[in-house]
Structure 1
């Protein structure tokens, strides 16, 4: 299960989308039949979320480049052209100081359709050995003043050059960054983030010609109302995606340097299930570091390469999305959805959804545990509308597939306020989820992703 931060607390073959070739070949072996009884449009609650991304050649050319350049092709990206300068970086987790060449790209100002209380960034990038990237956000408040530049992550796909990390203790007295989330300190004041821009800094070892490549940079700005309960949605889909099943619990005690081992690996375990649903997986060479004989070594691999050395856990939301996008031709984002109707829309198109929720044991019938933060994967719905989920907090792989009551699930996932076991008010995620998809989705999948502002 996730370590809490101080803030954050099948289908489709018979559907019209499937008739249009919705399920890609990588996932076709996992498809089962489903039926639809409700419209497949995003819910009205989704209007509290603004997704925006920079990912086209035009997008990369439209920003301010200082040493970076846009590259065209089937997957346009941003790379180092002529470095802007050199800088020293002292890694707080190794104590090692190294020199790096760098180049930057600053996005145009994006005026959010939703004046926001929170913003979460996510990115898809390739960082070969000797390279890494820094992601920053600067916002303009609704009163016209500006935030400082906030670091939203220092990231590399590996861990040999720098240790990927969030940055604590960032704030200006009006807003703060909590691990991976920009947050207005006092939403009740009416202050909002009206607009924001992003800055990428690409680093490489001096004198080399390597470069990171960033394919996608996205932000999810939101103003989800505080609430202990949420409206119930009407069931509209029956069916299930056949997603691989992995238990985090069978890894308990393994590699304790990554947040005490498997008992805390719900996020990378869920990520690995979906990566393999799309037909991707680490190579034998990738897994050579894992102790021989361990079951499902790819889960250990996912834990290592999603680990945030400042947060001291594998539950950093953008780091999981970035890990998924290190696999060939994969896209990924962190967003919020407005209801289980939205989840049905995605699953109807063949896209499973990783959701983040917190709950007491008695709030989710059949779970058998309570948690201050846990990731699971919604893979389908029963004839009664109940949620079929792959729950990694299970004793073994066979036990991972669960059925949870729709109303209970929807509430624990979408609420922003909850009571803990001592009756204290704590935060909920307000519908946070991860979405992973092929970089070249089918037309039907593309339409659905665009409907949520993700393409």
Structure 2
């Protein structure tokens, strides 16, 4: 698609999703807390997905007992519970894992689960996996994905992450150097190398491998496994949306900048901690709290020690940063009764629908300083938390790139924000054409969402 300004297409008319956002907002008027949103949920109605246009995003999730029994289990078993999961049962054998970041080799028992083939509803140029699990000390997990191209040939099995909630056994890591000449794993995203001329991804299978110390009964438990496939149109600008909601959620405010220089082993300290700082804001909005024991390792002179904790527990030792998208969603889901996904949204209308139901979103965007008035900086990639909309439709964000916690809340112009967040192409400060995220976001929400929350998540393509 050319770089010409597409605003001449005109303003889109409100969709049924926009009307849902307004309906939800009216139902929740006067309540800005998640507890209020959940309590009011019984009044909600499900969105009419049949009348909505086809979304260029396909988010498939496995999280029910039927989902876990529907895959191919080799040594794993499904557990029927309030929160169904997958655990390691009878191991297939042992394997040695040479951790490249500790330079040590250890032996592990293992078992696997492989999903059925999922045919994507949209020919995809990118896929992103995410998962929710607990990994007690002495356990960890690996996710892999094998896709089929639109010409019928297959990719190899790509490692999408090696993960543990702690860092005492392995160092959580993405895996570089994975490519077959047509697609490549870029940290947390499997992407077609030539989206304009190459084949698309038509379907995939995803595989979990669960590991534990030999001779023990320890096991990881996986509660949710998701894959977002997308074929976002290549664009420098996006159509303007119609404002449909005025509401602000009471989300805690944390600055990454007050942590500058702290724990430089985690991506040079707080200067680069936008992702875990944003995650921690939303986790605490939903009531997630860390204990004094969990925070005991943090220097007691540091303010907001939970942000340091979030950075340590989202850090990707290969990427050498805390911005691995699935690692942030997985960290959020280590908190009781909370789940997290990585997906893409398609408009600010989607965000309005979520905010109306009491669900904030952590968004990923990149921009020049002059492209987002009031930010005061430019960035090649930055996470912030959208917490609401003004009466005029502008975006209210908790932007962690602030001098202190009190300065975190910002209001950004609607048209500017939606463009820097939703575009897939942009021109950087050196005049080179580079990629944009195309609407990537983290969504964290309760394990048992209320009816309005369920309707809102369903309307943006997230099955709950």
The TM-score bracket by the shorter chain reads over 0.9
For 1:122, which of 117, 127, 130 is the aligned residue?
Answer: 130
The residue number in structure 1 matching 2:331 is 323
TM-aligned CA deviation for residue 40 of structure 1: 10
User: SS in structure 2 opposite 1:225?
Assistant: coil
The residue number in structure 1 matching 2:276 is 268
Whether contact under 8 Å (2:357, 2:456) holds in the other structure is yes
Structure 1's 15 and 364: CA in aligned 2 closer, same or farther, altered over 3 A?
Answer: closer
Structure 2 portions without partners, runs of 5+: 1-20, 41-46
Tell me the distance in 1 between the aligned counterparts of 2:332 and 2:51: 27
Structure 1's 62 and 115: CA in aligned 2 closer, same or farther, altered over 3 A?
Answer: same
Tell me the distance in 2 between the aligned counterparts of 1:23 and 1:277: 8
Whether contact under 8 Å (1:22, 1:445) holds in the other structure is no
The residue number in structure 1 matching 2:104 is 96
The residue number in structure 1 matching 2:386 is 378
Structure 1 portions without partners, runs of 5+: 1-10, 32-38
TM-score by length of 2: 0.91
Structure 1's 20 and 250: CA in aligned 2 closer, same or farther, altered over 3 A?
Answer: closer
Range 44-53 or range 64-73, more displaced: 44-53
TM-aligned CA deviation for residue 453 of structure 1: 2.8
The residue number in structure 2 matching 1:74 is 82
Tell me the distance in 2 between the aligned counterparts of 1:79 and 1:451: 31
Tell me the distance in 1 between the aligned counterparts of 2:421 and 2:48: 20
For 1:162, which of 161, 167, 170 is the aligned residue?
Answer: 170
User: SS in structure 1 opposite 2:28?
Assistant: helix
Deviations 1:97-143 (A, max 9, x none): 00000000000000010110000000000000000000000001111
Tell me the distance in 1 between the aligned counterparts of 2:452 and 2:119: 28
Tell me the distance in 1 between the aligned counterparts of 2:277 and 2:219: 29
Whether contact under 8 Å (1:354, 1:378) holds in the other structure is yes
Tell me the distance in 2 between the aligned counterparts of 1:294 and 1:429: 33
For 1:437, which of 445, 459, 463 is the aligned residue?
Answer: 445
Structure 1's 15 and 27: CA in aligned 2 closer, same or farther, altered over 3 A?
Answer: closer
Whether contact under 8 Å (1:42, 1:341) holds in the other structure is no
Structure 1's 354 and 110: CA in aligned 2 closer, same or farther, altered over 3 A?
Answer: same
Deviations 1:185-231 (A, max 9, x none): 11112511100010000000000111000000000000011111110
Whether contact under 8 Å (1:71, 1:78) holds in the other structure is yes
The question of 1:189 aligning with 2:204 is answered no
Say how many residue pairs are matched: 437
Range 180-189 or range 129-138, more displaced: 180-189
The question of 1:305 aligning with 2:325 is answered no
Structure 1's 402 and 428: CA in aligned 2 closer, same or farther, altered over 3 A?
Answer: same
Whether contact under 8 Å (1:22, 1:444) holds in the other structure is no
The question of 1:451 aligning with 2:449 is answered no
Tell me the distance in 1 between the aligned counterparts of 2:201 and 2:372: 34
User: SS in structure 2 opposite 1:245?
Assistant: coil
The residue number in structure 2 matching 1:18 is 28
For 1:351, which of 359, 363, 369 is the aligned residue?
Answer: 359
